[in-house]
Structure 1
């Protein structure tokens, strides 16, 4: 696994936009949903209320795993390079014309 190639950078903005959209739609149904889960850790520590903190710990992990699976599923592969063929006339290797 390497760095993102040029062909994959085109979809980066779309992926970020969709994740923000899903989070915004989620706040409609769950008013305590936060974009930054770290905002939940401070009050939980101060007030000693750890009842729902597992959601904020587990969600980023599940999000990262699902993003990796989705990335692998949608990964753009490079087209195969044509094999050069040996020319008997000039004694060099050439790429096919088609």
Structure 2
């Protein structure tokens, strides 16, 4: 098999996409080994949802983490990040 054929058979992924993909995989593995209904569980799942662009669900998980421990700095930080990432109605062209 020529080198040209070999390179055509593999999908090309930018390096940053590759890193993001593996971070997501590692987060999913951490989530699988974390007991549910803990601050850590909600933080991990919220960060996964945030990275997938599911802002409302991520916000819900960060709020759940804060309900379990209202003084958790990391949960408060990620809640603010998710709120900032949440598209505004004017930015999306939607009126609702």
- Report TM bin, short chain: 0.3 to 0.5
Larger of the two Rg values belongs to structure: 1
Q: TM-score, normalised by structure 2?
A: 0.33
More helix by share: 2
Q: TM-score, normalised by structure 1?
A: 0.33
More strand by share: 1
Question: Which of 1 and 2 has higher RCO (CA within 8 Å, sep 6+)?
Answer: 2
